[in-house]
Structure 1
Amino acid sequence: MYHLIIIRMKKITVITALTIVLFVTYSANAQKNSQQLVEDFQKLSGSWNGSLTYLDYSSGKPYTMSADVEVKRINNSNEFEFINTYPKEKSANSTQIISISQDGKYIGKEEVISRMELVDGQIQIVTQKQGKDGNDNKEAVIKQTYTISKTAFSIRKDVLFSGDTKWIKRHEYAYSRN
């Protein structure tokens, strides 16, 4: 009987040790992923000039307008402020806060699907979420692709409406460094 208790205690100790090792490994990986995304977005700090091209659902045609953005990291946190200005349409100016989750799995409410370093040195981050889009607010999968380099930055939004098989390019911001 005493021998069985010792065997069970050893099994419990081994299981506990493995659980701790797995937890520490997971936590370290999550922190690394989060830190990498923060470093990627930190590269965006500063002023950018560019354009916004979006699909006008009413006409079915793309429309392009001037768009600038200033990106600031908020108090050394995982949050970044995007101050969007539209020189010819000042009423559209807006500010957006983008938060990177502590585990690096989300940018805002968007799940990070991939992060790749491209051959030319650019970083490409793809996120996805369920949402609604279009003039009639239809259910859709919304995919954002962030492409970051030292001199260029873009955010592309693609939409796959429920029941469809073809992605639609909803809009794309394309910027260059000031």
Structure 2
Amino acid sequence: MTDRLLQKGPLSFQDHWNLSGTSPHSVRTARVEIYRTMRAQGVPEETAEDLRTITSEFVTNAINHTVSRVLFVWAQITQTEAVVGVLDRGPRPNKPLKPLHPTIDQEFGRGLALVDQLATRWAARGIGRGTAVEAAIRLPRSYQEQLSTSDPALFLVPPQGLTSQRPE
């Protein structure tokens, strides 16, 4: 995706995956790949875990609420934030996405409320017939300092078995 919802600043790292929009196994795959990718790039464990949870919510929603056969999942790291996102192929919801406030007895409806709690910021936007959702978490200062003093090429090496997409 070139038209990013939340991107602030130049990219230090970017990767993406195409996953099945019809298989519940895609949720696990997305969780594993996001966590592995973020940790391989030196993102602190707690932040990587939060990004994994957010990705799980986004992919689950796309599988449960759209008819997409393919989901596009991505991860990005800028100088100050780690970002994850999911694009489905629709159909788009008739109303804007927003967190619900379910009662204690309700089984569903907590996903976007959880995203709202974990993310520094998040956004959703219609793209074509589908919806792109993206969430950013501010990286700790220690990581930001590490990025600013490191060779940027070090952060463009993807985890084993994945293909990096170089920043534009």
When normalised by structure 2's length, the TM-score is 0.27
**Between structures 1 and 2, the one with greater strand share:** 1
Higher helix proportion, which one? Answer: 2
Larger Rg, first or second structure (1 or 2): 1
Of structures 1 and 2, the one scoring higher in RCO (CA 8 A, sep 6+) is 2
TM-score for the superposition, normalised by structure 1: 0.26
